Chains A and B, each alone.
Chain A
């Protein structure tokens, strides 16, 4: 029994390892595209410029330095939590190229997650380069503006933020993957993604930190999945004052809910699948 378990674990490790390495090689084929994506996701760095001025005014609970650090953290979190599976999935369903994946004894979902991780692996070096450039342009982000010590969030905050980032990625993935299942009924499912993109953009903390919102609104939003996909990991990294236990539990609850939704729609959707084009 123990040997069988060990063999199965080794088998899975090899499967995941090979899939990651091959998809990493595939993603590296598109060098220019990777760099462009790193640049195209610079919205938080643009917002940083806007909010840094606001922070200077003293009207908000965040200082200018905290604003700078927050939006750089948001940019980094976004690099890990970008999910594009809906575009890929729609293509696979419409062209029938999902079929060979359905005939493999590994759920396609596992491959899609590994594709994202591989793509992140190729994009992150470019993103870190952009962060380096902004830290050079805004040296106060590191020094606090008074020639003080270099900013260091601490190992505990970094560990929590990293865990929250990848948890946020899994949550974002299943949010979108559940939506992907609609492709079995309606071919142009990417249109639906546009609907959830707006709340994600404005309610996740991407364009403003949650700390600037009135308390009652913030409390309501904290029951939705959106703040945990950006604001929560970024806050853990910047000041560590986010509600850690509540954050992880809420993320777990929403992830399980979207996972169940995806499984139910998956089983129903496969009955509608006509393996078109193949």
Chain B
């Protein structure tokens, strides 16, 4: 049985519209107008026990709304959700003891007290005995390299330190299902690496299922074999991370080094010119005609070096989010790469 099962999940918000200026303000006061915004539409996917899934989408795609529905914080307009076989909106204590949600670094920590106090609250709330709580706090603090900051007021901690404390607060009860919304946002490179390593280790030790959103592709590539992609509220891909390139990038990158400086108009005859730096050219060439194009290049140009590779995944996903429309859903999803 999947740990998380979402079926045709949709959420529509009614938001007030206000025009700028004095007239807009008065109109807004007297006769407020609302419009329906469909934040999530017919999203379905499942997460198996122990699976780490990347949840990708541009800003406003509906990722956070979906996470809030999966944790039971908000009710879907239509569709159904099941987490560990239960309906999250019912907020049954036995389910709440097994799930967690991390959203930003200003959530659970009591601002004026050291993190240790907030962690004691969480330990008590989850019914963790004192000794065991102490042991878990020490273990988590060590894994996240934050042991020395446990007695400083939270407001005096850096962004990264606060984020680590939020993770500790969210994981002290050893949940089986983790919903993580941008857990590395705003962290420096070292802190990002520490959090990634920590999550990987947590997943290994506890066999937890993780759904992770992040704008840093490094988080996704380091942790997730599978990604679910959402755009304008609709699901556009659910499959292996490696499959994203095959599915959305019908081209490969050809990097050339020529004997003399390259001419862009000449190079454009072979494919889409990504960049030209003196004698070095990067071209995007359609997969279907790749062999023929490379042969033409070698015979017509004075090539000193040539490499063919997949374009970077960040670039592919960026293009998908630039071009993709929710109407493309049928075209993109449940293809050969779907799990």
Contact = CB atoms under 8 A, between A and B. Distances in A.
Interface of A: 11, 14-15, 17-19, 22, 25-26, 29, 97, 99-100, 102-106, 270-271, 273-275, 278
Contacts of A26: 110, 112-113, 117
A274 B14 CA distance: 11
Interface stretch (B55-63, B93-101, B199-207): B93-101
Contact of A99 (B89, B103, B126): B103
B125 A25 contact: no
B103 A278 contact: yes
A106 B74 contact: no
B114 to A, nearest CB: 9
Contacts of A97: 106-107
Interface majority SS on B: helix, strand, loop or mixed? mixed
A275 B121 contact: no
Nearest to B126: A105
B71 interface: yes
A275 B127 CA distance: 26
A77 B64 CA distance: 46
Nearest to A8: B127
B49 interface: no
B136 interface: no
A25 B110 CA distance: 11
B124 A99 contact: no
A25 B112 CA distance: 9
Interface string B140-159: 00000000000000000000
A136 B313 CA distance: 78
B75 A271 contact: yes
B39 to A, nearest CB: 10
A11 B127 contact: yes
Nearest to A11: B127
B124 A274 contact: no
Interface residues of B, number: 36
Contact of B120 (A18, A99, A102, A273): A18
Given A15-B124, A18-B124, A25-B113, A104 B96 contact: yes
B68 interface: yes
Interface in B121-135: 121-127, 130
B125 A105 contact: yes
Contacts of B89: 270
A29 B112 contact: yes
A278 B93 CA distance: 22
Contacts of A19: 121, 124-125
Contacts of A270: 75, 89
A278 B126 contact: no
A274 B103 contact: no
Nearest to A30: B112
A29 B113 CA distance: 8
A29 B112 CA distance: 7
A99 B73 contact: yes
Nearest to B110: A26
Contact of A105 (B73, B93, B101, B108): B93
B91 interface: yes
Contact of A102 (B64, B91, B103): B91
Contacts of B113: 22, 25-26, 29
Interface string B294-337: 00000000000000000000000000000000000000000000
A270 B120 CA distance: 27
18 contacts: A15-B125, A15-B127, A18-B120, A18-B124, A22-B118, A22-B121, A25-B113, A25-B117, A26-B112, A29-B112, A99-B73, A99-B103, A100-B101, A104-B125, A105-B93, A270-B75, A275-B73, A275-B74
B99 A103 contact: yes
B34 interface: no
A250 to B, nearest CB: 33
A271 B125 CA distance: 24
A99 B101 contact: yes
B127 A278 contact: no
Contacts of A271: 75
A221 B130 CA distance: 50
B121 A100 contact: no
A102 B73 contact: yes
B104 interface: yes
Contacts of A22: 110, 113, 117-118, 120-121
A275 B68 contact: yes
A273 B89 CA distance: 11
B13 interface: yes
Given A25-B117, A102-B91, A103-B100, A278 B74 contact: no
Which 4 A/B pairs are nearest by Cβ-Cβ distance?
A105-B93, A18-B124, A105-B96, A29-B112
A103 B73 contact: yes
Contacts of B75: 270-271
Given A97-B107, A278-B107, A103 B124 contact: no
Contacts of B74: 273-275
A65 B123 CA distance: 52
